[in-house]
Structure 1
Amino acid sequence: MTLDKSYQFDFGIGEAAPCYTKITAATVYTAEQGYGFKEIEKVAARDRKEPAALRRDFCIPMDTAFLVDLPNGRYNATLLLGDAITETVTTVKSGSGRLMLHKLRTGAGQFEKQSFSVQIDDGQLKLSFSGLAPRINAMDIVPSKQTTTIFLAGDSTVTDETEDNFPFAGWGQMLPQWFRAEVAVSNHAKSGRSSKSFIGEGRLDTILQSIQANDYLFIQFGHNDQKSDEERHTDPFTTYQEHLMRYIDAARERGAHPVLITSVQRRFFAPDGTIVDTHGEYLTAMRELAAAEQVPLIDLAERSKALFEALGPEETKSVFMWAAPGEFIHFPRGVEDNTHFQENGAIRIAKLVADGIRELRLQPLTLYLKS
């Protein structure tokens, strides 16, 4: 497959629509073929005998992924989803659980075309399907030179959590669903990293291999800069600011736009119902650096504080990773975590970031935000 070629897949039964490659319930991925379902055990196909070629048939991909080998780069994917005779509900995630479409619902006889952009860095597009009644009728994949990519550098509150850790999720994992097709999100955040260790492990260098002029680099560190070990620890007004400047300078040298994001608050409440700040001078240091260097700042610490205080101690358990024994299959003994989010909570935090983008009027990102 070449970078300048488009790929069109027609899912279901029977003959493919003109110019499309047919994908059936038995089309399993192979490296030689370069596309197909990761697993076919839960994939079914139906033909409703409708006249429109792409709407008459479809696949039902229950908790599986469709894989396409692609050269690294930026792509626009357009999916057609629906069913002539019944309601459908489909969630689509890209890569390691990055949310693209969330519980998209169509009525009987209704079909939706949904587009989104992705940044491919590992040679493969992976789209995972789930939902109460998922469908995929057709898929077009087109190389895109117009896509603006947001690169994320951060820690576990931002990262893409793996499927076997569900419902753990970082807010960066949920950010794509707030954008239209003109914006892609490339999430390089990693659990346990500080502004220092992220650079030390070469993760900023990896971003710099792909970032282009007019892209964005969003930077959120602070949770792990407080740790005492040599690999991660920074001092707020010296080494912390110095490391943040390395991200800022690197982005600007490539014509990209840095954006600083203060660390999201933890779920620690004072007796009066207010949030107890655990980040201290790291927040002040980032705010002062943003002002001094004229870098846009999304004050996620303040935004999350307001949200958590409005929700209160009990309701915030639905934002953070609190679960009763047996509630989630991967955590049979339950969990009480006041730092990390479950998926629905990460969606809410991502919305706070999107609101910050809108208030800052970051262009062209603001133009492409979903309402």
Structure 2
Amino acid sequence: MHPVRQTLAAAVLAAFALSAHAADSYRLAFDKAHAPAGYTVVQPAETYSAERGYGFEPGEKPGGPFYFSVALPEGNYNVTVTLGDDKEPALTTVKAELRRLMLENVATAAGQSVTRTFTVNLRTPQIGAVDHIAAGEVKLKTPRETVKEAWAWDQRLTLEFNGQHPAVRSIEVVPVKTPTLFLLGDSTVCDQPGEPYNSWGQMLPRFLKPGIAVANHGESGETYRDSIGRRRLDKILSVMKPGDTLLMQFGHNDQKQIKAGKGGPFTTYKAEIKTHVDAVRAHGGLPVIVSPMERRGFDAQGKVIPSLAEYAEAARQSAQELGVPFIDLNAKSKVLYEALGPEGSKAAFAEPTPGHLDNTHHDNYGSYELAKLVVTGMQEAKLPAAAFVVDGFAFDPARPDPVASFHVPPSPTPKADRPLGDEDHK
């Protein structure tokens, strides 16, 4: 059902080919009877084409999940969708790019419509020269980022409409100048391309109001050192504006540096954190250190067995020494896992094959709960970005959401390979 997206190289060539025709805003209607004035009516058979600049991605559409894309340059955009069906009730979930949750289970009665707005970030691998940042591009991983994750880097916005009878009447996409909340991290943070894996970075936009864009630059298997070496930090700095925020969470893969004799939590890890903090501050941004969440593992008393305690402590020390905000996701995750219990916590972790649980990487439910922990940490740290948290948000990790009440629909993507890098800690 999921479209076979072209490789990043092909996508970039196509983007340049249509650059003379691509718009920076769109007003598109899917229901001719309710098309507002000035909106272009999209025909059901209009598959995406570079010449047109918009269209459906190949796959099922009538009554089920579908993807729709529009060609756009890099930047932040407000997307306004009007949802509803004249003839029957609808329940619509909207995700953007690589499964970033934007709207969750928006219900409409037959004949009813609702309009919602959210803010999305689009990015490309190209790095523009600015200040002390040299021009170039992010060193993407092949084939993971250039094929399976290509649609997170190309010059188009892809929207996934999912749920029980998803129904969309119109879409408006306009460029906006908003604050950006950048993310850097490993496989527990990055945009995972397919089920059963998911990350808190993908769920975070669900808990933010329009007016701030989440730009997730995390990637599987990476460390603070990789962020520098692959120029992910440079990419962020090249587009960062004064007042933007960067949440940074590494640790799982950094442990491998100890085995290789190339560093440790209280030496290279802290030094690389400082490199990030200094660079972000020099560009007018706010760096925020997030300690790595724990893996799933319990002792006989039902307490979480610490596997990342030294990295969590090094992150805490760095935040204190450098005078930057700190979100202790490590401590919060232990409370969450222990509240779920040894058996209940299995529902928060990916099960790539029956009976084989991944005790490091999360599924949709687990990443949703972890995103709530991050949002709670943003509020406790009084980050400026916390002003955009959705009204009425409250979460106690000791009282997680019941698994039975979680109904975010899985994306109709091919089953994903296990994320790169970290292996379950033994």
More strand by share: 1
Corresponding position of 2:156: 124
- Change in CA separation of 1:14 and 1:27 when aligned onto 2, cut-off 3 Å: farther
1:212 and 1:254 in contact (8 A); partners too = yes
Corresponding position of 1:63: 65
Q: How high is the TM-score relative to the length of structure 2?
A: 0.76
Q: Which stretch has the larger CA shift, 196-205 or 241-250?
A: 196-205
- Change in CA separation of 1:278 and 1:11 when aligned onto 2, cut-off 3 Å: same
1:183 and 1:365 in contact (8 A); partners too = no
- Change in CA separation of 1:229 and 1:307 when aligned onto 2, cut-off 3 Å: closer
Corresponding position of 2:110: 108
Q: Equivalents in 2 of 1:224, 1:282: separation in Å?
A: 11
Q: Equivalents in 2 of 1:42, 1:102: separation in Å?
A: 21
Deviations 1:132-185 (CA, angstroms, capped at 9, x unpaired): 11011011111101x21111110011111113xx02101101111000111111
Identical-pair percentage = 40
Q: Equivalents in 2 of 1:29, 1:64: separation in Å?
A: 12
Corresponding position of 1:222: 251
1:357 and 1:365 in contact (8 A); partners too = yes
RMSD over equivalenced CA pairs, Å = 2.0
Q: CA deviation at 1:80?
A: 0.5
Q: How does 1:148-297 map to 2 (within 5 A)?
A: 148-163=179-194, 166-228=195-257, 233-297=262-326
Deviations 1:299-342 (CA, angstroms, capped at 9, x unpaired): 000111111111100110011113xxxxxxxx455531110000
Q: Equivalents in 1 of 2:198, 2:342: separation in Å?
A: 20
Q: Equivalents in 2 of 1:263, 1:5: separation in Å?
A: 38
Q: CA deviation at 1:366?
A: 2.6
Q: CA deviation at 1:251?
A: 1.1
- Change in CA separation of 1:367 and 1:126 when aligned onto 2, cut-off 3 Å: closer
> Alignment length, in residue pairs?
343
Deviations 1:17-59 (CA, angstroms, capped at 9, x unpaired): 32101112111110111101112x5223xxxxxxxxxxxxxxx
Corresponding position of 1:352: 373
Corresponding position of 2:399: none
Q: Equivalents in 1 of 2:158, 2:72: separation in Å?
A: 10
Q: Equivalents in 2 of 1:283, 1:113: separation in Å?
A: 42
Q: CA deviation at 1:231?
A: 8.4
2:266 match: secondary structure: helix
Query: Is the counterpart of residue 75 in structure 1 residue 77 in structure 2?
Result: yes
Report 1 or 2 for greater relative contact order, CA contacts < 8 Å, sequence distance ≥ 6: 2
Q: Equivalents in 1 of 2:189, 2:357: separation in Å?
A: 19
Q: Give the aligned residue type for 1:80.
A: T
Q: CA deviation at 1:294?
A: 1.2
Corresponding position of 2:37: 18
Segments of 5+ residues of structure 1 without an aligned counterpart are 45-59, 323-330
Q: How high is the TM-score relative to the length of structure 1?
A: 0.87
Query: Is the counterpart of residue 340 in structure 1 residue 340 in structure 2?
Result: no
Segments of 5+ residues of structure 2 without an aligned counterpart are 1-18, 124-153, 394-426
Corresponding position of 2:405: none
Q: Equivalents in 1 of 2:117, 2:262: separation in Å?
A: 41
Q: Equivalents in 2 of 1:234, 1:35: separation in Å?
A: 48
